[in-house]
C-alpha cells in the first residue's frame, strides 16, 4: 500500500477494522469535546469527524499513520511517500483532501501545495479541502478562511497558512 516491503503481506480486513459514526446525536453531544480532541490528534478520527459516513478500513489506517509521521517529523525523516492503492479505494479522500485540511489545522502558519495530473482535478481537491476547513465540523475552531478568499485552488487561512493546488 505504501512504500514498504512489509506491505507484501496485507493485514486482513475484519469487521472491527471499520470505524463507524456514533449512533445517536445524544452520544455525539456528550462526546463532542472528546471527539474534537481526537480529531485534532488523529487523521482517521478527523476524517470521521468531518465526514460521518467515512468508514476507515485497514489500508486507510496504514496510510493515515504514515501521513501522521510526515506531519510529526516534517522533512527530517520523510522525503517522499508513495501510495499504491487501486482506484476508488480512498487515496484522494485521505491524502489529497483530508490530510491537507488536518495538517493546516495542526500547523496553521504552514503553506501547502498539492499537485494533480489535471488542473480540473486539482481545483476539485482544492474546493473539497476548502469546504472541510470552512465546515462547522472542522475541529480546529481557531482556524478559518480569510474573509476575502473565494477561490478553490488557492486560499489562505486567518493564521497565515495557505493552500495551493495545481495541475
Most distant CA pair in the chain, distance: 49
d(CA 28, CA 37): 13
Select the more confidently predicted residue: 12 or 118: 118
With a CB cutoff of 8 Å and minimum separation 6, the contacts of 93 are 47, 54
pLDDT at 5 exceeding the cut of 80: no
Give residue 145's pLDDT: 85
> What is the average pLDDT score of the chain?
81
Q: Please give the pLDDT value at position 60.
A: 95
pTM: 0.78
Q: Select the more confidently predicted residue: 72 or 14.
A: 72
Contacts of 25 (CB under 8 A, 6+ apart): none
Asked if residue 90 lies in contact with residue 143, where contact means CB atoms within 8 angstroms, the answer is: no
Q: What is the pLDDT, as a whole number, of residue 152?
A: 84
The pLDDT of residue 24 is 45
Residues 139, 35: Cα–Cα separation, whole Å: 9
Q: What is the pLDDT of residue 26?
A: 44
Encode pLDDT of 43-80 as tens digits. Answer: 999 999 999 899 999 999 999 999 999 888 876 766 77
Q: Which pLDDT band holds residue 98 (cuts at 50, 70, 90)? A: very high
Phi, psi of 131 (to 5 degrees): -65, -40
Locate 26 and state its grid cell: 445524544
Predicted confidence at residue 27, as pLDDT, reads 52
Q: What percent of the chain has pLDDT over 90?
A: 52
Contact 46, 102 (CB under 8 A): yes
State the pLDDT at residue 75: 62
Does the pLDDT value for residue 92 go beyond 80? yes
- The tens digit of pLDDT for each residue in 117-158 reads 999 999 999 999 999 999 999 999 888 888 777 778 888 988
Amino acid at each position: 500500500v505504501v512504500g514498504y516491503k512489509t506491505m507484501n503481506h496485507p493485514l486482513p480486513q475484519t469487521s472491527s477494522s471499520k470505524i463507524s459514526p456514533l449512533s445517536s446525536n445524544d452520544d455525539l453531544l456528550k462526546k463532542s469535546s472528546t471527539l474534537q480532541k481526537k480529531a485534532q490528534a488523529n487523521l482517521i478520527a478527523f476524517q470521521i469527524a468531518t465526514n460521518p459516513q467515512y468508514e476507515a478500513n485497514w489500508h486507510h489506517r496504514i496510510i493515515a499513520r504514515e501521513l501522521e509521521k510526515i506531519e510529526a517529523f516534517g522533512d527530517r525523516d520523510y522525503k517522499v511517500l508513495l501510495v499504491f492503492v487501486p482506484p476508488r479505494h480512498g487515496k484522494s479522500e485521505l491524502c489529497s483532501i483530508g490530510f491537507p485540511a488536518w495538517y493546516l489545522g495542526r500547523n496553521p502558519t504552514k503553506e501547502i501545495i498539492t499537485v494533480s495530473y489535471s488542473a480540473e482535478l486539482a481545483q476539485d481537491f482544492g474546493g473539497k479541502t476548502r469546504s472541510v476547513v470552512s465546515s462547522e465540523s472542522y475541529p480546529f475552531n481557531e482556524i478559518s478562511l480569510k474573509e476575502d478568499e473565494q477561490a478553490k485552488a488557492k486560499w489562505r487561512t486567518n493564521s497565515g497558512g495557505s493552500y495551493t493546488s495545481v495541475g
